[in-house]
Amino acid sequence: MSLAVEPTDGVDTLDRRPGDDELVAARLVARRKPGQWISALVALVAVAALVHSVLTNPHFQWDVVRYFFLRPSILEGLLLTIWLTVAVVVSGYILGIGLAVMRLSRNPVLATVSFGFVWFFRSVPPLVQLLLWSNLASLYPTLSLDVPFVHHFATIHTAHLFTALLAAYVGLTLDVAAFSAEIIRGGLLSVENGQSEAAKSLGLGKARIFWRIVLPQAMPAIVPASGNMVIGMLKATSIISVLAAHDLLHSVQLIYEQNYLIIPLLLVATIWYIILTTVLSIGQYFVERHYARGKGGPAPRGLWEVARGSLPFAGTVRRDLAGLV
Amino acid sequence: MTPALVRIRGLHKHFGRHQVLEGIDLDVPAGSVTVLLGPSGSGKSTLLRCVNHLEKPDAGFVEVGGEIIGYRRDGERLRELPDRAVTRQRAKIGMVFQQFNLFPHKTVLENIVEGQLAAGVRRKAAESRASELLAKVGLAGREASYPRQLSGGQQQRVAIARAVANDPQLILFDEPTSALDPEMVGEVLGVMKDLAAAGLTMIVVTHEIGFAREAADQVVFLDGGRIVEAGPPGEVLANPRNERARAFLSAVL
Ligand SMILES: Nc1ncnc2c1ncn2[C@@H]1O[C@H](COP(=O)(O)OP(=O)(O)O)[C@@H](O)[C@H]1O
Ligand SMILES: [Mg+2]
């Protein structure tokens, strides 16, 4: 037997350099990711257990939830929550735009006033503000408008002025104004200076430049943060139940204080808040898509595609599945 | 000789302690092309930006079509005009920027319509004028595109169409081809030559000596905030007397 080592068949196939043609023709197999599947399985089991217990635990009393879900007093509360949110957000953002523009203006007094406003109202918790405003009567029992020569032209008693609702409206509006001013300022700063210079050189006036050139380009930076903020405010309106204003939370509180069905009634409120938040999120999606016009990147996807893309086994996950088998 | 459309006299401008323009005197006859040359930092952009009041001069004045830009005469003083009046003056002076500065959120058509709307033109008329101009700069049919969907050269041609949409009496170009890939320079210079041939008054900052030689009526050489050489392109470009101008030209040629 010769000492020369004869390559065995197996070694031969391993060591032989494959030709380029073979490599070109080879099928590409993605890396397997068993960890991803194990963690997904664990999470699914946990979610299933949670859902099962929520649906079958008699303490949740889903029949009670169903019974109260569309009661008129609940819907009244819901309505108040909705319009208070709308009113607060609209007036807060109008103020916020003004504050942001003041802060960016070349006038140091305006800039400082805006800075001070934002600093103060960002510092005070909304609930504290709410209590302060509703107790304004003890600070300034009357607000009077004095006109020279006509003493006490008009006097308003603050106790009548600041109902719970008005206190909430004012307090939350100032809160939104302070936070939105910062969001808007950040957005405005993200727009290049060349944009307003080009607009100026075309003979556009200041207001036109702001509303038609700068603000629309600031929107992509403003909208996501504002979506958060509006949803936060929707929920923050529930603090007015402290002042016994009849919002969504207070309307369920009134009922469970009588029948002690606390959990199902809180579920009623929770589900309504989830529905409203969902509607707002969908709205945000469309607003974002609107302001993404002219941006590079892939064509905007439809809402359904986005939703499906984030569902397990329907969108991106399917590609991973291919790697496993 | 045609009367000067643009008269610049004793123009001074500083930023902080840095004197950028140190007494500029310049006449630009109506219907002529003036090319500004000069090393980086010599004050070319600042001079151009004083012409449409994007920068306020410290002393001296710019007059376009007999109107002092940004100020009105009040005895021995020049008082700054209100925004509204400056806006009206700017509407008659077009400007084209190195970075195009098209409005990215508006379509090509809307970009060209915007200035016309501000000037009070009806939308219908503004849109048909915009389409006409697009055809003139070789971009017929691109009305609905967004700026980012166009090449640099195409964007700059849209910017030129936008700048001339209001029939300005003067148009300022600040290095219009410096941000372009070399193969796109020609198409933009071509459009500019068309405008020059059509009799538009232009002040152009550029390093394209070929354009200066072909299209300019006068070439002005700026250095350290002063005009060190000015004259017809044949003279200034062929044998500049100023040493700095000579050095600059041999570097860019
Ligand atoms: N807004 C500004 N603030 C401070 N310095 C500036 C400003 N604009 C221009 N400068 C300075 O002025 C000088 C001339 O600038 P510029 O007119 O842009 O020159 P050029 O266009 O000839 O290159 C440069 O040194 C530049 O740094
Ligand atoms: Mg420059």
Question: pLDDT by residue (tens digit) across B13-47?
Answer: 999 999 999 999 999 999 999 999 999 999 999 99
CA-nearest residue, atom 20 of ligand 1: B41
A145-198 pLDDT, tens per residue? 666 665 555 666 655 556 788 888 999 999 999 999 999 999 999 999 999 999
pLDDT at position A270, please?
Answer: 93
Do the beta carbons of residue A118 and residue A99 sit within 8 Å? Answer: yes
Distance B44 CA to ligand 2 centre (A): 6
Ligand 1 mutation target, pool B46, B50, B203, B221, most atoms within 8 A of CB: B46
* Nearest chain B Cα distance for residue A302, angstroms: 20
Q: How far is the CA of B208 from the centre of ligand 2 (A)?
A: 14
Chain B CB within 8 Å of residue A201 CB:
yes
Maximal CA-CA distance, chain A: 131
Q: Residue A301's pLDDT is what?
A: 57
Q: Is A294 on the interface with B (CB under 8 A)?
A: yes
Mutation pick from B49, B84, B101 vs chain A, by most beta carbons of A within 10 Å, is B101
CA distance A186 to chain B (A): 18
Q: Is A123 on the interface with B (CB under 8 A)?
A: no
Q: Nearest CB to B146: which of A205, A212, A293?
A: A293
Tell me which of A191, A193, A201 to substitute to probe the interface with B (most B C-beta atoms closer than 10 Å).
Answer: A201
Contact with chain B for residue A204, Cβ under 8 A: yes
pLDDT recorded at residue A312: 47
- Nearest protein CA to atom 12 of ligand 1, as residue: B20
Mean pLDDT of chain B: 94
The pLDDT, as a whole number, for residue A164 is: 81
Contacts of B52 in chain A (CB under 8 A): 200-201
Ligand nearest to the CA of B38: 1
Q: What DSSP line would sit under chain B, residue for residue?
A: -PPEEEEEEEEEEEETTEEEEEEEEEEEETT-EEEEE--TTSSHHHHHHHHTTSS--SEEEEEETTEETTEEEETTEEEEPPHHHHHHHHTTEEEE-TT----TTS-HHHHHHHHHHHTT--HHHHHHHHHHHHHHTT-TT-TT--GGGS-HHHHHHHHHHHHHTT--SEEEEESTTTTS-HHHHHHHHHHHHHHHHTT--EEEE-S-HHHHHHH-SEEEEEETTEEEEEE-HHHHHHS-SSHHHHHHHHHH-
Q: What is the pTM of this model?
A: 0.83
Q: Which residues make Cβ contacts (< 8 Å) with residue A107, sequence separation at least 6?
A: none
| Right CATH for A59-292 from 3.50.50.60, 1.10.3720.10, 1.10.150.130, 3.30.470.20 | 1.10.3720.10
Query: Exposed, middle or buried by CB within 10 Å (0-12, 13-18, 19+), for B187?
Result: middle
**A vs B: CB pairs below 8 A:** 77
Write down the pLDDT at residue B185: 96
- Please tell me the predicted confidence (pLDDT) of residue A320: 46
Q: What ipTM does the predicted assembly reach?
A: 0.94
**Pairwise CB contact (< 8 Å): B87 & A197:** no
CB atoms within 10 A of CB A148: 6
Domain ranges of chain A: 59-292
Separation of CA B14 and ligand 1 centre (Å): 9
Cβ(B17) – ligand 1 distance below 6 Å:
no
Min Cα–Cα distance to chain A from B244, Å: 31
Q: So what's the pLDDT on residue A88?
A: 96
B41 lines ligand 1 (CB under 6 A): yes
- pLDDT of chain A along its 325 residues, tens only? 445 555 555 455 556 788 888 888 888 888 888 888 899 999 999 999 999 988 888 888 888 899 999 999 999 999 999 999 999 999 999 999 999 999 999 999 999 999 999 999 999 999 999 888 888 766 666 666 666 665 555 666 655 556 788 888 999 999 999 999 999 999 999 999 999 999 999 999 999 999 999 999 999 999 999 999 999 999 999 988 888 788 899 999 999 999 998 999 999 999 999 999 999 999 999 999 999 887 765 555 566 665 554 454 444 444 444 444 3
Q: Do B99 and A217 touch (CB under 8 A)?
A: no
pLDDT-based confidence at residue B251 (cuts at 50, 70, 90): confident
Report the nearest atom of ligand 1 relative to the CA of B174. Answer: 21
Going by pLDDT thresholds of 50, 70 and 90, the confidence category of residue B250 is confident
**pLDDT tens track for B164-181:** 999 999 999 999 999 999
Tokens at residue A112, please?
A: 């400082």
What integer pLDDT is reported at residue A253 of this predicted model? Answer: 92
CA angle A34, A37, A41 (to 5 degrees): 140
pLDDT at A317: 44
Residue A297, pLDDT score: 52
Q: pLDDT for B195-205, tens place per residue?
A: 999 999 999 99
Ligand nearest to the CA of A193: 1
